[in-house]
Copies of this chain bind each other. A is one copy, B any other.
Protein backbone atom coordinates (compact mmCIF):
# COMPACT_ATOMS: atom_id res chain seq x y z
CA UNK A 1 0.00 0.00 0.00
CA UNK A 2 1.12 3.49 -0.59
CA UNK A 3 1.68 5.10 2.76
CA UNK A 4 2.41 8.42 1.25
CA UNK A 5 -1.17 9.45 1.34
CA UNK A 6 -1.43 11.98 4.09
CA UNK A 7 -3.77 11.22 6.90
CA UNK A 8 -4.74 14.60 8.24
CA UNK A 9 -7.25 15.86 5.74
CA UNK A 10 -7.53 19.30 7.29
CA UNK A 11 -4.30 21.03 6.42
CA UNK A 12 -4.02 19.14 3.18
CA UNK A 13 -7.05 20.74 1.61
CA UNK A 14 -5.52 21.42 -1.80
CA UNK A 15 -5.24 25.07 -2.71
CA UNK A 16 -6.45 26.40 -6.01
CA UNK A 17 -4.45 25.30 -9.00
CA UNK A 18 -1.24 27.16 -9.58
CA UNK A 19 -1.95 29.72 -12.24
CA UNK A 20 -0.89 28.85 -15.76
CA UNK A 21 -0.71 25.12 -15.26
CA UNK A 22 -3.21 22.36 -15.18
CA UNK A 23 -3.48 21.35 -11.58
CA UNK A 24 -3.60 17.84 -10.25
CA UNK A 25 -5.28 18.40 -6.94
CA UNK A 26 -3.36 15.73 -5.18
CA UNK A 27 -3.94 12.20 -6.29
CA UNK A 28 -7.50 11.17 -5.73
CA UNK A 29 -7.59 8.28 -8.11
CA UNK A 30 -9.62 5.63 -6.35
CA UNK A 31 -12.72 5.37 -4.28
CA UNK A 32 -10.50 4.49 -1.36
CA UNK A 33 -8.70 7.82 -1.67
CA UNK A 34 -11.94 9.67 -1.70
CA UNK A 35 -13.26 7.63 1.19
CA UNK A 36 -10.25 8.56 3.26
CA UNK A 37 -10.77 12.22 2.50
CA UNK A 38 -14.43 12.05 3.33
CA UNK A 39 -13.89 9.98 6.42
CA UNK A 40 -16.26 7.24 5.31
CA UNK A 41 -15.88 3.79 3.84
CA UNK A 42 -15.47 3.01 0.17
CA UNK A 43 -18.87 1.42 0.08
CA UNK A 44 -20.51 4.65 1.08
CA UNK A 45 -18.58 6.59 -1.51
CA UNK A 46 -19.58 4.14 -4.18
CA UNK A 47 -23.20 4.41 -3.17
CA UNK A 48 -23.04 8.17 -2.98
CA UNK A 49 -21.59 8.47 -6.45
CA UNK A 50 -24.24 6.18 -7.82
CA UNK A 51 -27.04 8.14 -6.18
CA UNK A 52 -28.07 5.20 -4.11
CA UNK A 53 -30.95 5.98 -1.75
CA UNK A 54 -29.12 4.03 0.90
CA UNK A 55 -26.85 6.91 1.85
CA UNK A 56 -27.88 9.91 3.78
CA UNK A 57 -28.58 12.80 1.50
CA UNK A 58 -26.20 15.14 3.28
CA UNK A 59 -23.43 12.58 3.05
CA UNK A 60 -24.12 12.00 -0.57
CA UNK A 61 -23.95 15.66 -1.43
CA UNK A 62 -20.77 16.10 0.55
CA UNK A 63 -19.09 13.21 -1.23
CA UNK A 64 -20.25 14.28 -4.64
CA UNK A 65 -19.02 17.76 -4.05
CA UNK A 66 -15.69 16.43 -2.87
CA UNK A 67 -15.45 14.20 -5.89
CA UNK A 68 -16.07 16.95 -8.36
CA UNK A 69 -13.72 19.28 -6.57
CA UNK A 70 -10.94 16.75 -6.94
CA UNK A 71 -11.93 15.90 -10.48
CA UNK A 72 -12.42 12.33 -9.38
CA UNK A 73 -13.61 9.86 -11.98
CA UNK A 74 -14.43 6.25 -11.42
CA UNK A 75 -12.12 3.70 -12.95
CA UNK A 76 -14.24 2.46 -15.78
CA UNK A 77 -12.32 -0.81 -16.14
CA UNK A 78 -12.88 -1.82 -12.57
CA UNK A 79 -16.51 -0.86 -12.72
CA UNK A 80 -16.99 -2.75 -15.94
CA UNK A 81 -15.31 -5.81 -14.54
CA UNK A 82 -17.51 -5.82 -11.50
CA UNK A 83 -20.72 -5.07 -13.37
CA UNK A 84 -19.90 -7.34 -16.28
CA UNK A 85 -20.73 -4.56 -18.65
CA UNK A 86 -18.51 -2.48 -20.86
CA UNK A 87 -20.63 0.53 -21.76
CA UNK A 88 -18.97 0.28 -25.12
CA UNK A 89 -20.29 -0.28 -28.60
CA UNK A 90 -18.09 -1.50 -31.37
CA UNK A 91 -18.48 -0.15 -34.87
CA UNK A 92 -17.19 -2.76 -37.26
CA UNK A 93 -16.32 -1.73 -40.78
CA UNK A 94 -16.35 -4.86 -42.87
CA UNK A 95 -14.65 -3.49 -45.85
CA UNK A 96 -13.72 -5.44 -48.84
CA UNK A 97 -10.87 -3.42 -50.23
CA UNK A 98 -11.49 -4.84 -53.62
CA UNK A 99 -15.14 -3.91 -53.65
CA UNK A 100 -14.21 -0.30 -53.72
CA UNK A 101 -16.32 1.09 -50.94
CA UNK A 102 -13.27 1.73 -48.86
CA UNK A 103 -13.06 4.24 -46.13
CA UNK A 104 -13.10 6.85 -48.80
CA UNK A 105 -16.81 7.20 -49.18
CA UNK A 106 -17.58 10.48 -47.43
CA UNK A 107 -20.99 9.23 -46.59
CA UNK A 108 -19.60 6.69 -44.18
CA UNK A 109 -17.74 9.27 -42.15
CA UNK A 110 -20.82 11.36 -41.70
CA UNK A 111 -22.78 8.41 -40.48
CA UNK A 112 -19.96 7.53 -38.12
CA UNK A 113 -20.13 11.03 -36.71
CA UNK A 114 -23.82 10.65 -36.07
CA UNK A 115 -23.23 7.37 -34.30
CA UNK A 116 -20.46 8.83 -32.19
CA UNK A 117 -22.65 11.69 -31.07
CA UNK A 118 -25.54 9.51 -30.15
CA UNK A 119 -23.44 6.99 -28.29
CA UNK A 120 -21.74 9.63 -26.23
CA UNK A 121 -25.10 11.20 -25.45
CA UNK A 122 -26.23 7.85 -24.12
CA UNK A 123 -23.08 7.31 -22.09
CA UNK A 124 -21.38 4.75 -24.27
CA UNK A 125 -17.90 4.59 -25.70
CA UNK A 126 -17.28 3.89 -29.34
CA UNK A 127 -14.74 1.30 -30.30
CA UNK A 128 -13.81 1.44 -33.96
CA UNK A 129 -12.72 -1.69 -35.70
CA UNK A 130 -11.87 -2.51 -39.27
CA UNK A 131 -12.12 -6.05 -40.43
CA UNK A 132 -11.92 -8.04 -43.57
CA UNK A 133 -14.98 -9.94 -44.67
CA UNK A 134 -13.42 -13.37 -44.69
CA UNK A 135 -11.71 -13.10 -41.33
CA UNK A 136 -12.77 -14.04 -37.83
CA UNK A 137 -14.28 -10.71 -36.91
CA UNK A 138 -17.54 -12.38 -35.97
CA UNK A 139 -16.15 -14.37 -33.07
CA UNK A 140 -16.15 -11.45 -30.74
CA UNK A 141 -19.56 -10.33 -31.87
CA UNK A 142 -20.87 -13.67 -30.73
CA UNK A 143 -19.18 -13.50 -27.35
CA UNK A 144 -18.30 -9.88 -26.89
CA UNK A 145 -15.72 -9.14 -24.23
CA UNK A 146 -14.62 -5.66 -25.10
CA UNK A 147 -18.06 -4.30 -25.94
CA UNK A 148 -21.72 -4.81 -25.22
CA UNK A 149 -22.89 -4.76 -28.80
CA UNK A 150 -21.87 -3.97 -32.33
CA UNK A 151 -22.93 -1.82 -35.24
CA UNK A 152 -21.86 -3.44 -38.45
CA UNK A 153 -21.22 -2.00 -41.89
CA UNK A 154 -20.78 -4.32 -44.81
CA UNK A 155 -23.93 -6.33 -44.96
CA UNK A 156 -23.32 -7.57 -48.44
CA UNK A 157 -20.10 -9.35 -47.70
CA UNK A 158 -21.47 -11.45 -44.92
CA UNK A 159 -25.20 -11.77 -45.03
CA UNK A 160 -25.22 -15.45 -44.16
CA UNK A 161 -22.75 -15.00 -41.37
CA UNK A 162 -24.87 -12.19 -39.98
CA UNK A 163 -27.91 -14.42 -40.03
CA UNK A 164 -26.03 -17.11 -38.17
CA UNK A 165 -24.87 -14.61 -35.59
CA UNK A 166 -28.38 -13.32 -35.09
CA UNK A 167 -29.66 -16.87 -34.67
CA UNK A 168 -27.09 -17.37 -31.97
CA UNK A 169 -28.39 -14.31 -30.18
CA UNK A 170 -25.49 -11.96 -30.74
CA UNK A 171 -26.25 -8.31 -29.96
CA UNK A 172 -25.75 -6.23 -33.07
CA UNK A 173 -27.45 -4.12 -35.69
CA UNK A 174 -26.51 -3.62 -39.29
CA UNK A 175 -26.50 -0.65 -41.58
CA UNK A 176 -27.98 -1.55 -44.89
CA UNK A 177 -31.01 -2.71 -46.72
CA UNK A 178 -33.65 -5.17 -45.65
CA UNK A 179 -33.17 -8.52 -47.28
CA UNK A 180 -35.82 -11.15 -47.84
CA UNK A 181 -34.37 -13.75 -45.51
CA UNK A 182 -32.91 -11.60 -42.80
CA UNK A 183 -32.71 -12.60 -39.15
CA UNK A 184 -30.94 -9.53 -37.82
CA UNK A 185 -31.99 -5.99 -37.00
CA UNK A 186 -31.01 -3.31 -39.43
CA UNK A 187 -31.30 0.34 -40.27
CA UNK A 188 -31.16 1.83 -43.71
CA UNK A 189 -32.52 4.58 -45.78
CA UNK A 190 -35.55 4.04 -47.92
CA UNK A 191 -33.48 2.64 -50.73
CA UNK A 192 -36.41 1.47 -52.72
CA UNK A 193 -38.25 4.75 -52.40
CA UNK A 194 -35.07 6.66 -53.13
CA UNK A 195 -34.30 4.72 -56.24
CA UNK A 196 -37.86 5.11 -57.35
CA UNK A 197 -37.88 8.87 -56.76
CA UNK A 198 -34.63 9.28 -58.63
CA UNK A 199 -35.91 7.34 -61.59
CA UNK A 200 -39.29 9.05 -61.64
CA UNK A 201 -37.50 12.34 -61.68
CA UNK A 202 -35.47 11.36 -64.71
CA UNK A 203 -38.61 10.20 -66.44
CA UNK A 204 -40.25 13.52 -65.69
CA UNK A 205 -37.26 15.20 -67.22
CA UNK A 206 -38.02 13.37 -70.39
CA UNK A 207 -35.60 10.49 -70.17
CA UNK A 208 -36.82 7.34 -71.82
CA UNK A 209 -33.83 5.04 -71.81
CA UNK A 210 -32.36 5.12 -68.34
CA UNK A 211 -29.36 3.11 -67.25
CA UNK A 212 -28.47 1.92 -63.77
CA UNK A 213 -24.99 1.82 -62.25
CA UNK A 214 -24.47 -0.13 -59.06
CA UNK A 215 -23.48 -3.49 -57.71
CA UNK A 216 -26.56 -5.61 -57.12
CA UNK A 217 -24.54 -7.76 -54.79
CA UNK A 218 -24.91 -4.89 -52.33
CA UNK A 219 -28.39 -5.03 -50.87
CA UNK A 220 -28.70 -1.28 -50.77
CA UNK A 221 -27.86 -1.03 -54.44
CA UNK A 222 -30.21 -3.89 -55.20
CA UNK A 223 -33.09 -2.13 -53.48
CA UNK A 224 -32.37 1.07 -55.34
CA UNK A 225 -32.49 -0.99 -58.48
CA UNK A 226 -35.84 -2.34 -57.42
CA UNK A 227 -37.14 1.21 -57.04
CA UNK A 228 -35.73 1.98 -60.44
CA UNK A 229 -37.56 -0.99 -61.87
CA UNK A 230 -40.85 0.04 -60.26
CA UNK A 231 -40.60 3.57 -61.54
CA UNK A 232 -40.03 2.35 -65.06
CA UNK A 233 -42.92 -0.02 -64.73
CA UNK A 234 -45.37 2.57 -63.49
CA UNK A 235 -44.37 4.83 -66.38
CA UNK A 236 -44.92 2.02 -68.80
CA UNK A 237 -41.30 2.02 -69.87
CA UNK A 238 -39.54 -1.23 -70.68
CA UNK A 239 -36.78 -2.51 -68.42
CA UNK A 240 -33.75 -3.08 -70.56
CA UNK A 241 -31.07 -5.08 -68.83
CA UNK A 242 -28.62 -3.96 -71.44
CA UNK A 243 -28.65 -0.62 -69.64
CA UNK A 244 -27.44 -2.07 -66.37
CA UNK A 245 -23.76 -2.15 -65.56
CA UNK A 246 -22.47 -3.66 -62.33
CA UNK A 247 -20.48 -0.92 -60.68
CA UNK A 248 -18.59 -0.91 -57.42
CA UNK A 249 -18.60 2.07 -55.11
CA UNK A 250 -15.64 3.86 -56.58
CA UNK A 251 -15.11 6.55 -59.14
CA UNK A 252 -12.80 4.39 -61.13
CA UNK A 253 -15.26 1.56 -61.36
CA UNK A 254 -17.93 4.01 -62.43
CA UNK A 255 -15.76 5.40 -65.19
CA UNK A 256 -15.14 1.91 -66.50
CA UNK A 257 -18.78 0.93 -66.35
CA UNK A 258 -19.92 4.07 -68.09
CA UNK A 259 -17.38 3.75 -70.86
CA UNK A 260 -18.50 0.21 -71.33
CA UNK A 261 -22.07 1.32 -71.59
CA UNK A 262 -21.20 4.00 -74.10
CA UNK A 263 -19.19 1.61 -76.21
CA UNK A 264 -22.00 -0.89 -76.20
CA UNK A 265 -23.75 1.53 -78.53
CA UNK A 266 -26.95 1.16 -76.56
CA UNK A 267 -28.68 4.51 -76.69
CA UNK A 268 -29.46 6.01 -73.28
CA UNK A 269 -30.42 9.44 -72.03
CA UNK A 270 -30.42 9.01 -68.25
CA UNK A 271 -28.41 7.29 -65.53
CA UNK A 272 -29.35 6.32 -62.03
CA UNK A 273 -26.23 5.81 -59.93
CA UNK A 274 -26.15 3.91 -56.67
CA UNK A 275 -23.96 6.56 -55.05
CA UNK A 276 -22.71 10.06 -55.63
CA UNK A 277 -19.20 8.81 -56.12
CA UNK A 278 -20.44 6.56 -58.89
CA UNK A 279 -22.44 9.42 -60.38
CA UNK A 280 -19.40 11.65 -60.51
CA UNK A 281 -17.34 8.97 -62.17
CA UNK A 282 -20.10 8.46 -64.69
CA UNK A 283 -20.37 12.14 -65.46
CA UNK A 284 -16.65 12.28 -66.02
CA UNK A 285 -16.74 9.37 -68.43
CA UNK A 286 -19.71 10.85 -70.26
CA UNK A 287 -18.02 14.17 -70.71
CA UNK A 288 -14.84 12.55 -71.84
CA UNK A 289 -16.88 10.76 -74.44
CA UNK A 290 -18.38 14.02 -75.58
CA UNK A 291 -21.80 13.54 -74.08
CA UNK A 292 -23.16 16.52 -72.23
CA UNK A 293 -24.72 16.24 -68.78
CA UNK A 294 -27.59 16.79 -68.43
CA UNK A 295 -28.17 17.63 -72.08
CA UNK A 296 -27.39 14.25 -73.57
CA UNK A 297 -27.60 12.22 -70.43
CA UNK A 298 -29.24 13.25 -67.17
CA UNK A 299 -27.66 11.78 -64.04
CA UNK A 300 -28.90 11.20 -60.51
CA UNK A 301 -26.70 10.11 -57.64
CA UNK A 302 -27.37 8.88 -54.12
CA UNK A 303 -26.21 10.07 -50.67
CA UNK A 304 -25.93 13.82 -51.15
CA UNK A 305 -22.35 13.97 -50.03
CA UNK A 306 -21.22 17.44 -49.02
CA UNK A 307 -19.47 17.96 -52.32
CA UNK A 308 -22.51 17.17 -54.43
CA UNK A 309 -23.56 20.79 -54.46
CA UNK A 310 -20.12 22.04 -55.40
CA UNK A 311 -19.18 20.00 -58.39
CA UNK A 312 -19.93 20.92 -61.95
CA UNK A 313 -22.56 20.22 -62.93
CA UNK A 314 -23.93 20.09 -59.43
CA UNK A 315 -25.37 16.73 -58.65
CA UNK A 316 -29.00 15.78 -58.40
CA UNK A 317 -29.11 13.15 -55.71
CA UNK A 318 -31.09 11.38 -53.03
CA UNK A 319 -30.36 12.68 -49.58
CA UNK A 320 -30.30 10.36 -46.64
CA UNK A 321 -30.64 11.73 -43.16
CA UNK A 322 -27.38 10.49 -41.74
CA UNK A 323 -27.83 12.02 -38.32
CA UNK A 324 -31.12 10.20 -37.96
CA UNK A 325 -29.44 7.07 -39.25
CA UNK A 326 -26.78 7.23 -36.57
CA UNK A 327 -29.37 7.80 -33.92
CA UNK A 328 -31.54 4.95 -35.11
CA UNK A 329 -28.64 2.51 -35.22
CA UNK A 330 -27.59 3.37 -31.70
CA UNK A 331 -31.05 3.40 -30.24
CA UNK A 332 -31.99 0.12 -31.81
CA UNK A 333 -28.84 -1.55 -30.57
CA UNK A 334 -29.09 -0.16 -27.07
CA UNK A 335 -32.71 -1.15 -26.75
CA UNK A 336 -31.55 -4.65 -27.49
CA UNK A 337 -28.68 -4.48 -25.05
CA UNK A 338 -30.43 -2.83 -22.19
CA UNK A 339 -33.51 -5.01 -22.30
CA UNK A 340 -32.19 -8.37 -23.36
CA UNK A 341 -34.60 -10.63 -25.21
CA UNK A 342 -36.47 -13.17 -23.11
CA UNK A 343 -33.72 -15.22 -21.56
CA UNK A 344 -35.74 -18.34 -21.31
CA UNK A 345 -35.75 -18.91 -25.04
CA UNK A 346 -32.61 -20.65 -26.15
CA UNK A 347 -31.65 -17.80 -28.39
CA UNK A 348 -31.56 -19.97 -31.42
CA UNK A 349 -35.31 -19.86 -31.55
CA UNK A 350 -35.51 -16.17 -30.97
CA UNK A 351 -35.53 -15.54 -34.67
CA UNK A 352 -38.68 -17.34 -35.62
CA UNK A 353 -40.84 -15.43 -33.16
CA UNK A 354 -41.29 -12.28 -35.14
CA UNK A 355 -39.59 -10.21 -37.75
CA UNK A 356 -36.40 -8.56 -36.64
CA UNK A 357 -36.79 -4.80 -36.40
CA UNK A 358 -35.82 -2.69 -39.37
CA UNK A 359 -35.79 1.08 -39.40
CA UNK A 360 -36.33 2.80 -42.71
CA UNK A 361 -35.18 6.37 -42.92
CA UNK A 362 -36.96 8.73 -45.25
CA UNK A 363 -35.07 10.10 -48.22
CA UNK A 364 -35.43 13.29 -50.15
CA UNK A 365 -34.68 13.99 -53.76
CA UNK A 366 -32.40 17.00 -54.13
CA UNK A 367 -32.67 18.32 -57.65
CA UNK A 368 -29.62 20.10 -58.98
CA UNK A 369 -28.11 20.60 -62.39
CA UNK A 370 -27.03 17.16 -63.42
CA UNK A 371 -30.57 16.17 -64.22
CA UNK A 372 -32.38 19.40 -65.05
CA UNK A 373 -33.60 19.71 -68.57
CA UNK A 374 -36.01 22.57 -68.32
CA UNK A 375 -33.81 24.78 -70.40
CA UNK A 376 -33.58 27.49 -67.78
CA UNK A 377 -31.78 25.45 -65.24
CA UNK A 378 -28.64 27.52 -65.05
CA UNK A 379 -29.54 31.13 -64.68
CA UNK A 380 -26.16 31.84 -63.19
CA UNK A 381 -24.17 29.48 -65.33
CA UNK A 382 -24.34 30.48 -68.97
CA UNK A 383 -21.49 28.04 -69.59
CA UNK A 384 -23.74 25.13 -69.17
CA UNK A 385 -26.07 26.05 -71.92
CA UNK A 386 -23.09 26.26 -74.20
CA UNK A 387 -21.68 23.04 -72.97
CA UNK A 388 -24.87 21.17 -73.70
CA UNK A 389 -24.07 22.03 -77.25
CA UNK A 390 -26.06 20.63 -80.08
CA UNK A 391 -28.31 18.43 -78.07
CA UNK A 392 -31.98 19.16 -78.06
CA UNK A 393 -34.28 18.21 -75.26
CA UNK A 394 -35.00 14.62 -75.90
Residues of A within 8 A of B (CB): 20-22, 24, 29, 71, 73-78, 80-81, 86, 91, 93, 102-106, 108-110, 112-113, 116-117, 120, 125-130, 138-140, 142-143, 145-146, 164-165, 167-168, 250-251, 254-255, 277, 280-281, 283-284, 287-290, 292, 305-307, 309-314, 348, 380-383, 386-387, 389
Contact = CB atoms under 8 A, between A and B. Distances in A.
B312 A311 contact: yes
Contacts of A71: 139, 143
A112 B104 CA distance: 10
A251 B106 contact: no
B110 A120 contact: no
B102 A113 contact: yes
21 contacts: A22-B164, A29-B143, A77-B145, A106-B109, A116-B129, A116-B130, A120-B130, A125-B127, A126-B127, A126-B128, A127-B128, A250-B306, A251-B310, A254-B310, A283-B310, A284-B309, A284-B311, A288-B380, A290-B382, A383-B387, A386-B389
Contacts of A307: 251, 277, 280, 307, 311
A280 to B, nearest CB: 4
Nearest to A71: B139
A200 B130 CA distance: 39
Contacts of A313: 312
A130 B145 contact: no
A164 B20 CA distance: 8
Given A283-B312, A284-B310, 15 more contacts: A20-B164, A21-B164, A22-B164, A24-B143, A75-B81, A76-B146, A77-B77, A93-B116, A112-B128, A127-B127, A127-B128, A250-B306, A251-B307, A255-B310, A280-B311
A30 to B, nearest CB: 11
Contacts of A381: 287-288, 290
Could you say which of A75, A289, A310, A348 has the most chain B C-beta atoms within 10 Å of its C-beta? A310
Could you say which of A102, A167, A288 has the most chain B C-beta atoms within 10 Å of its C-beta? A288
Given A312-B312, A381-B288, A73 B22 contact: no
Contacts of A310: 251, 254-255, 277, 280-281, 283-284
B80 A77 contact: yes
Given A307-B280, A310-B251, A311-B311, A76 B145 contact: yes
A67 to B, nearest CB: 13
Could you say which of A71, A311, A313 has the most chain B C-beta atoms within 10 Å of its C-beta? A311
A148 to B, nearest CB: 12
Nearest to A285: B310
Contacts of A86: 77
Contacts of A20: 164
Could you say which of A76, A93, A165 has the most chain B C-beta atoms within 10 Å of its C-beta? A76
Contacts of A380: 288-289
Nearest to A380: B288
A203 to B, nearest CB: 25
